[in-house]
Homo-oligomer: A and B are copies of this chain.
Amino acid sequence: MAAFEIPEEQWAQVVEKSGGPAVYKKIPVQKPGPDEVLINVKYSGVCHTDLHAMMGDWPLDTKMPLVGGHEGAGVVVARGSLVQDIELGDHAGIKWLNGSCLACCFCMQADEPLCPHALLSGYTVDGSFQQYAIAKAAHVARLPKDCDLEEVAPVLCAGITVYKGLKESGARPGQYVAIVGAGGGLGSMAIQYAKAMGLHVIGIDGGDEKRESCQKLGAAAFVDFMSSKDLVQDVKDATPDGLGPHAVILLAVSEKPFQQATEYVRSRGTVICIGLPAHAFLKAPVFDTVIRMITIKGSYVGNRQDTQEALDFYQRGLVKVPFKTVGLSELQDVYSLMREGKIVGRYVVDTSR
Protein backbone atom coordinates (compact mmCIF):
# COMPACT_ATOMS: atom_id res chain seq x y z
CA MET A 1 0.00 0.00 0.00
CA ALA A 2 1.73 3.10 -1.29
CA ALA A 3 1.28 6.51 0.33
CA PHE A 4 -0.11 9.18 -1.95
CA GLU A 5 1.02 12.76 -2.17
CA ILE A 6 -2.02 14.88 -1.52
CA PRO A 7 -2.01 18.57 -2.45
CA GLU A 8 -3.35 21.29 -0.17
CA GLU A 9 -5.44 22.81 -2.95
CA GLN A 10 -7.40 21.48 -5.91
CA TRP A 11 -9.66 22.51 -8.78
CA ALA A 12 -13.40 22.35 -8.24
CA GLN A 13 -16.70 23.59 -9.62
CA VAL A 14 -18.39 25.54 -6.83
CA VAL A 15 -22.01 26.72 -6.74
CA GLU A 16 -21.98 29.76 -4.51
CA LYS A 17 -25.66 30.57 -4.43
CA SER A 18 -28.86 28.75 -5.27
CA GLY A 19 -29.63 29.33 -8.94
CA GLY A 20 -25.96 29.07 -9.89
CA PRO A 21 -23.78 29.36 -11.80
CA ALA A 22 -21.02 26.88 -10.94
CA VAL A 23 -17.63 28.60 -10.69
CA TYR A 24 -14.40 26.79 -11.62
CA LYS A 25 -11.86 27.64 -8.94
CA LYS A 26 -9.26 26.38 -6.49
CA ILE A 27 -10.41 25.23 -3.04
CA PRO A 28 -8.73 23.38 -0.15
CA VAL A 29 -8.55 19.56 -0.02
CA GLN A 30 -10.35 18.09 3.02
CA LYS A 31 -9.11 15.35 5.36
CA PRO A 32 -11.16 12.17 5.94
CA GLY A 33 -12.69 11.46 9.36
CA PRO A 34 -12.17 8.07 11.10
CA ASP A 35 -14.86 6.30 9.02
CA GLU A 36 -14.19 8.13 5.76
CA VAL A 37 -11.95 7.93 2.72
CA LEU A 38 -10.51 10.61 0.47
CA ILE A 39 -10.91 9.83 -3.21
CA ASN A 40 -8.89 11.38 -6.01
CA VAL A 41 -11.74 11.75 -8.48
CA LYS A 42 -10.60 11.11 -12.04
CA TYR A 43 -13.93 11.34 -13.86
CA SER A 44 -17.47 12.27 -12.92
CA GLY A 45 -20.72 11.86 -14.79
CA VAL A 46 -23.14 14.77 -14.99
CA CYS A 47 -26.73 14.06 -14.04
CA HIS A 48 -29.94 16.04 -14.32
CA THR A 49 -30.04 16.08 -10.53
CA ASP A 50 -26.86 18.19 -10.52
CA LEU A 51 -28.72 20.86 -12.41
CA HIS A 52 -31.66 20.66 -9.96
CA ALA A 53 -29.16 20.98 -7.07
CA MET A 54 -27.64 24.11 -8.56
CA MET A 55 -31.04 25.62 -9.36
CA GLY A 56 -32.49 24.70 -5.97
CA ASP A 57 -35.87 23.84 -7.53
CA TRP A 58 -36.50 20.61 -5.63
CA PRO A 59 -38.42 20.52 -2.33
CA LEU A 60 -35.22 19.60 -0.43
CA ASP A 61 -32.54 22.11 0.61
CA THR A 62 -28.92 21.89 -0.55
CA LYS A 63 -25.71 22.78 1.25
CA MET A 64 -24.35 26.13 0.12
CA PRO A 65 -21.69 26.83 -1.17
CA LEU A 66 -21.87 23.48 -2.92
CA VAL A 67 -19.57 21.29 -4.96
CA GLY A 68 -21.96 19.18 -7.04
CA GLY A 69 -21.51 15.75 -8.63
CA HIS A 70 -22.45 12.23 -7.61
CA GLU A 71 -21.04 9.96 -10.29
CA GLY A 72 -17.38 10.19 -9.38
CA ALA A 73 -14.84 7.47 -10.17
CA GLY A 74 -11.32 7.62 -8.79
CA VAL A 75 -8.61 6.31 -6.53
CA VAL A 76 -8.58 6.10 -2.73
CA VAL A 77 -5.66 8.20 -1.49
CA ALA A 78 -6.33 8.45 2.26
CA ARG A 79 -8.50 6.71 4.81
CA GLY A 80 -9.62 7.13 8.42
CA SER A 81 -8.45 4.98 11.31
CA LEU A 82 -11.53 2.72 11.36
CA VAL A 83 -11.43 1.84 7.67
CA GLN A 84 -10.15 -1.69 7.20
CA ASP A 85 -11.55 -3.15 4.03
CA ILE A 86 -10.30 -0.50 1.60
CA GLU A 87 -6.64 -0.05 0.76
CA LEU A 88 -4.93 3.08 -0.52
CA GLY A 89 -4.77 2.77 -4.29
CA ASP A 90 -8.10 0.93 -4.54
CA HIS A 91 -10.52 2.21 -7.13
CA ALA A 92 -13.78 3.52 -5.75
CA GLY A 93 -16.90 5.39 -6.75
CA ILE A 94 -18.77 8.27 -5.19
CA LYS A 95 -22.49 7.95 -5.62
CA TRP A 96 -25.61 9.93 -4.68
CA LEU A 97 -25.69 8.33 -1.25
CA ASN A 98 -22.44 9.56 0.27
CA GLY A 99 -23.19 8.12 3.68
CA SER A 100 -25.96 7.03 6.04
CA CYS A 101 -26.20 6.28 9.73
CA LEU A 102 -26.13 2.48 9.25
CA ALA A 103 -28.18 2.08 12.41
CA CYS A 104 -31.70 3.46 11.84
CA CYS A 105 -34.64 1.25 10.97
CA PHE A 106 -34.12 1.88 7.26
CA CYS A 107 -30.36 1.28 7.27
CA MET A 108 -30.91 -1.89 9.33
CA GLN A 109 -33.10 -3.20 6.55
CA ALA A 110 -30.70 -2.29 3.75
CA ASP A 111 -32.78 0.69 2.70
CA GLU A 112 -29.99 3.18 3.28
CA PRO A 113 -31.39 5.59 0.66
CA LEU A 114 -34.32 6.19 3.03
CA CYS A 115 -32.10 6.97 6.04
CA PRO A 116 -33.21 10.24 7.65
CA HIS A 117 -29.52 11.00 8.28
CA ALA A 118 -28.42 10.27 4.71
CA LEU A 119 -25.64 12.41 3.27
CA LEU A 120 -26.17 13.19 -0.41
CA SER A 121 -23.15 13.80 -2.63
CA GLY A 122 -23.28 17.11 -4.42
CA TYR A 123 -26.40 18.05 -2.50
CA THR A 124 -26.06 17.98 1.30
CA VAL A 125 -22.29 17.32 1.21
CA ASP A 126 -19.71 18.24 -1.41
CA GLY A 127 -19.60 15.83 -4.32
CA SER A 128 -17.44 14.72 -7.23
CA PHE A 129 -16.99 17.90 -9.25
CA GLN A 130 -13.62 18.37 -7.57
CA GLN A 131 -10.32 16.54 -7.69
CA TYR A 132 -10.42 15.22 -4.14
CA ALA A 133 -13.71 14.23 -2.52
CA ILE A 134 -14.65 12.77 0.84
CA ALA A 135 -17.06 9.84 1.27
CA LYS A 136 -18.10 7.46 4.04
CA ALA A 137 -16.03 4.30 3.55
CA ALA A 138 -19.01 1.98 4.09
CA HIS A 139 -20.78 3.66 1.18
CA VAL A 140 -18.22 4.13 -1.57
CA ALA A 141 -18.72 1.83 -4.53
CA ARG A 142 -16.02 -0.83 -4.73
CA LEU A 143 -14.56 -0.80 -8.27
CA PRO A 144 -12.24 -3.48 -9.60
CA LYS A 145 -8.76 -2.32 -10.62
CA ASP A 146 -9.40 -3.14 -14.28
CA CYS A 147 -12.49 -0.97 -14.39
CA ASP A 148 -12.42 1.93 -16.89
CA LEU A 149 -12.93 4.95 -14.60
CA GLU A 150 -14.13 7.14 -17.45
CA GLU A 151 -16.85 4.84 -18.75
CA VAL A 152 -18.00 3.57 -15.37
CA ALA A 153 -18.77 7.03 -14.00
CA PRO A 154 -22.35 7.27 -15.36
CA VAL A 155 -23.13 3.80 -14.01
CA LEU A 156 -22.72 5.22 -10.50
CA CYS A 157 -26.04 7.06 -10.67
CA ALA A 158 -27.81 6.41 -13.98
CA GLY A 159 -26.93 2.72 -14.10
CA ILE A 160 -27.77 1.99 -10.48
CA THR A 161 -31.04 3.88 -10.70
CA VAL A 162 -32.44 2.06 -13.72
CA TYR A 163 -31.19 -1.30 -12.42
CA LYS A 164 -32.89 -0.66 -9.10
CA GLY A 165 -36.13 0.25 -10.86
CA LEU A 166 -36.04 -2.98 -12.85
CA LYS A 167 -35.40 -4.97 -9.65
CA GLU A 168 -38.22 -3.22 -7.79
CA SER A 169 -40.61 -3.98 -10.65
CA GLY A 170 -40.53 -7.63 -9.72
CA ALA A 171 -40.46 -8.59 -13.41
CA ARG A 172 -39.00 -12.07 -13.83
CA PRO A 173 -36.80 -13.42 -16.64
CA GLY A 174 -38.93 -14.11 -19.69
CA GLN A 175 -41.45 -11.38 -18.91
CA TYR A 176 -42.08 -8.11 -20.74
CA VAL A 177 -41.18 -4.65 -19.52
CA ALA A 178 -42.09 -1.39 -21.21
CA ILE A 179 -39.57 1.43 -20.84
CA VAL A 180 -40.98 4.93 -21.29
CA GLY A 181 -38.18 7.18 -22.49
CA ALA A 182 -36.22 4.22 -23.86
CA GLY A 183 -34.39 6.30 -26.43
CA GLY A 184 -32.62 8.62 -23.97
CA GLY A 185 -29.45 8.15 -21.94
CA LEU A 186 -31.15 6.47 -18.98
CA GLY A 187 -33.32 4.52 -21.38
CA SER A 188 -30.45 3.04 -23.31
CA MET A 189 -28.95 1.74 -20.07
CA ALA A 190 -32.34 0.45 -18.93
CA ILE A 191 -32.76 -1.57 -22.13
CA GLN A 192 -29.36 -3.18 -21.66
CA TYR A 193 -29.91 -4.01 -17.99
CA ALA A 194 -33.35 -5.40 -18.77
CA LYS A 195 -31.98 -7.67 -21.45
CA ALA A 196 -29.13 -8.87 -19.23
CA MET A 197 -31.80 -9.74 -16.67
CA GLY A 198 -33.62 -11.96 -19.17
CA LEU A 199 -36.46 -9.50 -19.78
CA HIS A 200 -38.08 -8.56 -23.09
CA VAL A 201 -38.20 -4.85 -23.73
CA ILE A 202 -40.86 -2.70 -25.34
CA GLY A 203 -39.23 0.66 -25.96
CA ILE A 204 -41.53 3.68 -25.88
CA ASP A 205 -40.26 7.02 -27.18
CA GLY A 206 -40.72 9.44 -30.05
CA GLY A 207 -39.08 9.55 -33.48
CA ASP A 208 -37.18 7.28 -35.84
CA GLU A 209 -33.79 8.00 -34.35
CA LYS A 210 -35.00 6.72 -30.98
CA ARG A 211 -36.62 3.72 -32.65
CA GLU A 212 -33.35 2.79 -34.29
CA SER A 213 -31.34 3.22 -31.12
CA CYS A 214 -33.78 0.98 -29.20
CA GLN A 215 -33.77 -1.69 -31.84
CA LYS A 216 -29.99 -1.68 -32.03
CA LEU A 217 -29.85 -2.33 -28.29
CA GLY A 218 -32.18 -5.29 -28.66
CA ALA A 219 -35.66 -4.04 -27.75
CA ALA A 220 -38.22 -6.63 -28.84
CA ALA A 221 -40.60 -3.88 -29.94
CA PHE A 222 -40.82 -0.12 -30.21
CA VAL A 223 -43.89 2.09 -29.91
CA ASP A 224 -43.61 5.66 -31.14
CA PHE A 225 -45.79 7.94 -29.03
CA MET A 226 -45.55 10.64 -31.69
CA SER A 227 -46.97 8.53 -34.52
CA SER A 228 -49.09 5.95 -32.66
CA LYS A 229 -52.83 6.38 -33.06
CA ASP A 230 -53.63 4.29 -30.01
CA LEU A 231 -50.64 4.03 -27.74
CA VAL A 232 -52.37 1.85 -25.13
CA GLN A 233 -53.45 -0.71 -27.73
CA ASP A 234 -50.11 -0.65 -29.50
CA VAL A 235 -48.19 -1.39 -26.31
CA LYS A 236 -50.53 -4.26 -25.43
CA ASP A 237 -50.22 -5.63 -28.96
CA ALA A 238 -46.46 -5.71 -28.52
CA THR A 239 -46.85 -8.61 -26.07
CA PRO A 240 -47.56 -12.05 -27.58
CA ASP A 241 -50.81 -12.58 -25.65
CA GLY A 242 -51.98 -8.98 -26.00
CA LEU A 243 -52.35 -8.54 -22.23
CA GLY A 244 -49.66 -5.90 -21.94
CA PRO A 245 -46.25 -5.78 -20.27
CA HIS A 246 -45.71 -7.16 -16.76
CA ALA A 247 -43.98 -3.97 -15.72
CA VAL A 248 -43.49 -0.42 -16.90
CA ILE A 249 -40.46 1.72 -16.09
CA LEU A 250 -41.24 5.41 -16.26
CA LEU A 251 -38.04 7.31 -16.87
CA ALA A 252 -39.88 10.43 -17.94
CA VAL A 253 -42.86 10.86 -15.70
CA SER A 254 -45.27 13.49 -16.74
CA GLU A 255 -48.93 12.98 -15.99
CA LYS A 256 -49.83 11.78 -19.47
CA PRO A 257 -47.40 8.83 -19.79
CA PHE A 258 -48.14 7.89 -16.23
CA GLN A 259 -51.87 7.56 -16.74
CA GLN A 260 -51.35 5.61 -19.92
CA ALA A 261 -48.97 3.24 -18.16
CA THR A 262 -51.68 2.15 -15.74
CA GLU A 263 -53.89 1.47 -18.75
CA TYR A 264 -51.53 -0.72 -20.76
CA VAL A 265 -49.73 -2.53 -17.96
CA ARG A 266 -50.93 -6.14 -17.52
CA SER A 267 -53.41 -6.83 -14.72
CA ARG A 268 -51.37 -7.51 -11.51
CA GLY A 269 -48.53 -5.63 -13.16
CA THR A 270 -46.33 -2.91 -11.73
CA VAL A 271 -45.66 0.65 -12.84
CA ILE A 272 -42.33 1.95 -11.54
CA CYS A 273 -41.79 5.70 -11.29
CA ILE A 274 -38.19 6.83 -11.43
CA GLY A 275 -38.18 10.22 -13.08
CA LEU A 276 -38.50 13.27 -10.84
CA PRO A 277 -40.13 16.18 -12.69
CA ALA A 278 -40.68 19.04 -10.27
CA HIS A 279 -44.30 19.45 -9.09
CA ALA A 280 -45.76 16.53 -11.08
CA PHE A 281 -48.53 14.27 -9.82
CA LEU A 282 -49.36 10.63 -10.35
CA LYS A 283 -52.98 10.13 -11.32
CA ALA A 284 -54.84 6.87 -11.97
CA PRO A 285 -58.49 5.81 -12.05
CA VAL A 286 -59.41 4.03 -8.81
CA PHE A 287 -61.77 1.53 -10.41
CA ASP A 288 -59.32 0.16 -12.92
CA THR A 289 -56.41 0.13 -10.46
CA VAL A 290 -58.46 -1.89 -7.99
CA ILE A 291 -60.15 -4.46 -10.20
CA ARG A 292 -56.98 -5.04 -12.21
CA MET A 293 -54.88 -5.09 -9.02
CA ILE A 294 -52.25 -2.75 -10.36
CA THR A 295 -49.23 -1.64 -8.36
CA ILE A 296 -47.67 1.80 -8.66
CA LYS A 297 -44.33 2.14 -6.95
CA GLY A 298 -41.73 4.81 -6.54
CA SER A 299 -38.13 3.71 -6.98
CA TYR A 300 -35.35 5.95 -5.75
CA VAL A 301 -31.63 5.21 -6.03
CA GLY A 302 -30.20 1.79 -5.25
CA ASN A 303 -28.74 0.72 -1.94
CA ARG A 304 -25.15 -0.51 -1.59
CA GLN A 305 -25.99 -4.02 -2.72
CA ASP A 306 -27.84 -2.75 -5.79
CA THR A 307 -24.78 -0.64 -6.53
CA GLN A 308 -22.44 -3.61 -6.57
CA GLU A 309 -24.86 -5.66 -8.65
CA ALA A 310 -25.33 -2.87 -11.20
CA LEU A 311 -21.55 -2.53 -11.42
CA ASP A 312 -21.17 -6.30 -11.93
CA PHE A 313 -23.41 -6.21 -15.00
CA TYR A 314 -21.35 -3.34 -16.36
CA GLN A 315 -18.06 -5.03 -15.55
CA ARG A 316 -19.08 -8.18 -17.42
CA GLY A 317 -19.57 -6.10 -20.55
CA LEU A 318 -23.36 -6.43 -20.57
CA VAL A 319 -23.99 -2.70 -20.38
CA LYS A 320 -22.31 -0.10 -22.56
CA VAL A 321 -22.66 3.52 -21.56
CA PRO A 322 -23.13 6.14 -24.26
CA PHE A 323 -21.02 9.09 -23.05
CA LYS A 324 -18.95 12.08 -24.16
CA THR A 325 -16.12 13.55 -22.11
CA VAL A 326 -15.25 17.23 -21.57
CA GLY A 327 -13.05 18.99 -19.02
CA LEU A 328 -14.36 19.72 -15.51
CA SER A 329 -13.77 23.37 -16.40
CA GLU A 330 -16.50 23.11 -19.07
CA LEU A 331 -19.24 21.93 -16.71
CA GLN A 332 -21.29 25.07 -17.12
CA ASP A 333 -21.58 24.36 -20.86
CA VAL A 334 -22.98 20.93 -20.12
CA TYR A 335 -25.64 22.53 -17.93
CA SER A 336 -26.55 24.83 -20.78
CA LEU A 337 -27.05 21.93 -23.18
CA MET A 338 -29.07 20.14 -20.50
CA ARG A 339 -31.38 23.09 -20.05
CA GLU A 340 -31.96 23.18 -23.78
CA GLY A 341 -32.82 19.48 -23.77
CA LYS A 342 -29.99 18.80 -26.22
CA ILE A 343 -28.32 15.89 -24.41
CA VAL A 344 -28.99 12.35 -25.58
CA GLY A 345 -26.35 10.17 -23.89
CA ARG A 346 -24.40 11.11 -20.80
CA TYR A 347 -21.67 13.73 -20.27
CA VAL A 348 -18.57 12.90 -18.25
CA VAL A 349 -16.13 15.51 -16.91
CA ASP A 350 -12.39 14.88 -16.69
CA THR A 351 -11.12 16.51 -13.47
CA SER A 352 -7.61 16.93 -14.84
CA ARG A 353 -8.65 19.79 -17.12
Contacts and interface: CB of A to CB of B under 8 A. Distances in A.
A103 B79 CA distance: 15
Contacts of A137: 103
Contact of A283 (B101, B267, B273, B283): B283
A110 interface: yes
Interface stretch (A4-12, A150-158, A305-313): A305-313
| Total copies of the chain | 4
Given A173-B173, A286-B273, A305-B109, A267 B34 contact: no
Contacts of A101: 84-85
Interface string A92-106: 000000000111111
Interface residues of A, number: 73
A317 interface: no
A35 B110 contact: no
A103 B82 contact: no
Nearest to A139: B103
B293 A295 contact: no
B281 A285 contact: yes
B282 A284 contact: yes
A278 B35 CA distance: 39
Interface string A136-171: 011000000000000000000000000000011000
Interface of A: 33-35, 58-60, 81-82, 84-85, 101-106, 108-111, 113-114, 137-138, 167-168, 172-174, 196-198, 241, 243, 253, 258, 267-268, 273-300, 303-305, 308-309, 312-313
